[in-house]
Copies of this chain bind each other. A is one copy, B any other.
Amino acid sequence: MASLKQVAELAGVSLMTVSRALNNPEKLSAKTYKHVKKAIDELNYVPNFSAKNIRGSTGKTIGVLSLGTATTPFSVEIILAIEKTVRQHGWHSFVINTFEDDKQEMEQAAERLLSYRPAGIIVARNGLKEVKIPQKLRNIPMVLSNCVTNDVDVASYIPNDFQGQFDLTELLVKKGYKKPLCMYIPEDAIAAKERKNGFEKAWFNQLSPQIPEQHFMIGTPHTYENGAKPLEKLLENNSKKLDFDIIVCGNDRIAFLTYQLLLSRGFRIPEDVAVVGYDNMVGVTHLFQPSLTTVQLPHYEMGKQAALHFIEGRNSIGENLITCPLIIGQSC
């Protein structure tokens, strides 16, 4: 690979002239620029990032600590958004993937992160959760994307789960549904509480008397393989007539299970019972038949805003709630 020096030699000029041709072309006379440019193209010269970066770390590199991306790959969009955003502003980014439960891995990840001397670090997570920040990272400028922490005072960009569920529920009320069955995600999830509040706030506003007792239920944790179990039990008791007209699923995976369960028992969606989800999983949710009404987790926006936090030099601290847009389908 060619270096500045080689380009300079080929062009018969000094190092600095080539450097300027690359970074401040306006400081060169038109003809020397043209001359140097020719040499650059001829040698296929590309600046050496490491060499640039070594000098006083210009502060245009962002390190990304990506946690648990493997288990739910729907959050790649966060990473993609970061990369695209920094690129647009002439910054750089690099990603370290790891898993939070492995403490040793976390330590190593922190070291690798620091070895790039980033101006700041974005900690991103596949699903909203509280994260522990490695000790070594606590002195570096940091911002959180799709996670929160108690270890340091930082800004975080997280989904507005309350608003998302609220908007969805308002739609349901407007459409005239009266008897909801809610299968929330596990209680310990941060999003669970917000969404539950969002639902109840929107629902009680209009329909406080009509809430059936069983409207509130909890799905099972982690893999969600048993996410529709509550529904299954209800169907066992009364397999013909449903005691609810709308099933509010804690996420699209629960909705996925719910669809199969309902369809296999001969219920039509939405004629016999409507279904809504949450997440809008890229690559999957658009395959629901009928198309699923759901709420989109703003992965892209969370990544973008986290990146802009550094690029624009924002100094804020605390939670920034990102709107979750409604995705309207045929399932309600």
> Any chain B CB within 8 A of the CB of A71?
yes
Asked whether A114 and B46 contact (CB < 8 A) given A70-B76, A97-B79, the answer is yes
Docked CA distance A284–B224 (Å): 10
Asked whether A49 and B263 contact (CB < 8 A) given A94-B94, A256-B287, A283-B73, the answer is no
A70 pairs with B74, CB closer than 8 A: no
Asked whether A283 and B48 contact (CB < 8 A) given A76-B76, A95-B95, A266-B266, the answer is no
Number of this chain's copies in the complex: 2
> Any chain B CB within 8 A of the CB of A167?
no
> Any chain B CB within 8 A of the CB of A24?
no
Asked whether A70 and B1 contact (CB < 8 A) given A116-B49, A289-B260, the answer is no
Docked CA distance A193–B281 (Å): 29
Docked CA distance A83–B108 (Å): 13
Docked CA distance A54–B266 (Å): 66
> Any chain B CB within 8 A of the CB of A30?
no
> Any chain B CB within 8 A of the CB of A314?
no
Q: Which residues of B contact A117 (CB under 8 A)?
A: 1, 48-50
Q: Which residues of B contact A69 (CB under 8 A)?
A: 76, 80
6 contacts between A and B (CB under 8 A): A1-B57, A51-B54, A73-B76, A73-B283, A253-B283, A257-B289
> Any chain B CB within 8 A of the CB of A77?
yes
Number of residues of chain A lying within 8 A (CB) of chain B: 57
Q: Which residues of B contact A76 (CB under 8 A)?
A: 69-70, 73, 76
A84 to nearest B CB, angstroms? 8
Asked whether A73 and B116 contact (CB < 8 A) given A260-B263, A287-B256, the answer is no
Docked CA distance A92–B111 (Å): 13
> Any chain B CB within 8 A of the CB of A259?
yes
Q: Give A44-99 interface residues, CB cut-off 8 Å to B.
A: 44, 46-51, 53-54, 57, 69-74, 76-77, 79-80, 83, 87, 92, 94-97
Docked CA distance A136–B42 (Å): 12
